[in-house]
Amino acid sequence: MAKKNKNSSGKKSGSSRSSRTTILLIIAALLTFGLLWQTYPAPFESRWAALKKEVAKWCTTDEKQIAQNDSKPVTPATATPTQQKKTENEKKESDSKNEKKQSAVKNETEKKGKTEPVTDQKGFVPKSAKADLKKYKKLELPAKATDRPEQIVEHLGYAASYNSRTKLPNWVAYELTMHEVKGNSKRNNRFVQDPKIRQGQASNADYTRSGYDRGHMAPAADMTWDKQAMEESFYFTNICPQAPELNRGIWKSLEDKGRDWAKKDSAILIVCGPILSKRCKSIGLNKVAVPDQFYKVIMSPFGKKPKAIGFLFKNEGSNEKLQKFAVSVDSIQKLTGIDFFYQLPQPLQTEVERTYNLNDWF
């Protein structure tokens, strides 16, 4: 019985030691897990996901930086040979496109015979365009004539196209500024021949008892700003036979109005002259032609917008208002064959010559 009890006690002792060992291993495992938890608190899968997210962030940052670097211009100092070649090719291609575009615009402009419009959609002219008009020299002068005798003479206050056959000016042109209407030079009434004319001219004798006034084209009252200009306005290159009722009436009213317009718009351009029929009569020994009509075209280039107007009179008096005689510049151009204001850009010339608005002038 005693032996049996001893063996049973030995078995219990071995089982107890095994349990203690298991407990110790469990404790050690727990301690180890605790250390791992402190060092790596997130599960492995979460740590791997976090690592992937961090890597993706780094990649995105690198891609943005690469894109920024690619968008920057490559300078010769920093460019690789491949980048330099690419940049040169792109520049050549861009230059080639620009040249083709400019050439196409130039060809189209030459084909149409026009320049780019100066006015905007509302008809107003930008300040830069107004300044451009000032660059044109002697804008008031018409184009040269090819269908009639012409000698261009220029004086201090006006220029004239003299016709040796009719003994009259084809036209007289001048600019009148707001300052020039304030002169004090006195009228001298001394009509003389123009020393610059190479061939025959009218004389005072031609007008004696003819029934016609020696009518100024560029009026003496517009030349008060200078004594020489006043004297030269009495040259016969500036004179035509006018009916007294016209010269002293409606024609004078238009001259007065012109000075008002010059004051208002700072400057105006004026071209005027006679219109002759094929069978017009003449006066005097020099056979000075007597016009059937007279024209005057006026342009205001420096107002709110460029504008122009024409006037056409028979060589006789009238009690009508000036507005009654207003016409477009284009109609006078067709009647006389004279190309007015031809230096203007074509679209602007067309616009101001084909229309007029009385409300802009009266």
36 with 147, same domain: the answer is: no
180 with 89, same domain: the answer is: no
109 with 178, same domain: the answer is: no
Cα 203 from Cα 286, distance rounded (Å): 8
Share above pLDDT 70 across residues of the chain, in percent, rounded to a whole number: 66
> Which residues form the domain of 17?
2-71
21 with 142, same domain: the answer is: no
Q: What is the mean pLDDT of residues 332-337?
A: 96
Q: What is the mean pLDDT of residues 231-241?
A: 98
179 pLDDT higher than 80? yes
Catalytic site includes residue 179: no
Say if residues 235 and 190 touch (Cβ distance below 8 Å): no
162 with 21, same domain: the answer is: no
Specify if 119 maps to a domain.
Answer: no
- Please count the structural domains in the chain: 3
Q: What is the mean pLDDT of residues 181-191?
A: 93
The residue ranking higher by pLDDT, 145 or 125, is 145
Specify if 121 maps to a domain.
Answer: no
pLDDT at residue 28 in the model: 74
Specify if 131 maps to a domain.
Answer: yes
Query: 241-294 pLDDT, tens per residue?
Result: 999 999 999 999 999 999 999 999 999 999 999 999 988 999 999 999 999 999
Question: Which distant-in-sequence residues (6+ apart) come within 8 Å of 232 by Cβ?
Answer: 155, 156, 157, 158, 223, 238
pLDDT at residue 31 in the model: 72
24 pLDDT higher than 60? yes
Q: Of 64-68, 83-87, 104-108, which one has max mean pLDDT? A: 83-87
Q: Which of 216, 259, 296, 305 is catalytic?
A: 216
Min mean pLDDT across 85-89, 99-103, 210-214 is at 99-103
58 with 185, same domain: the answer is: no
pLDDT at residue 15 in the model: 59
142 with 29, same domain: the answer is: no
Specify if 100 maps to a domain.
Answer: yes
Specify if 156 maps to a domain.
Answer: yes
Q: Residue 180 corresponds to which amino acid?
A: E
Q: What is the CATH number of the domain that holds 199?
A: 3.40.570.10
- Is the full-model pTM beyond 0.75? no
Specify if 254 maps to a domain.
Answer: yes
13 with 148, same domain: the answer is: no
Question: Which distant-in-sequence residues (6+ apart) come within 8 Å of 49 by Cβ?
Answer: none
106 pLDDT higher than 90? no
Q: What is the mean pLDDT of residues 117-130?
A: 42
Say if residues 308 and 300 touch (Cβ distance below 8 Å): yes
Specify if 122 maps to a domain.
Answer: no
Specify if 120 maps to a domain.
Answer: no
Q: Tell me the average pLDDT of the chain.
A: 80
Question: Which distant-in-sequence residues (6+ apart) come within 8 Å of 234 by Cβ?
Answer: 188, 189, 190, 191, 192, 220
301 with 340, same domain: the answer is: yes
233 with 98, same domain: the answer is: no
67 with 86, same domain: the answer is: no
185 with 58, same domain: the answer is: no
Min mean pLDDT across 16-20, 116-120, 320-324, 335-339 is at 116-120
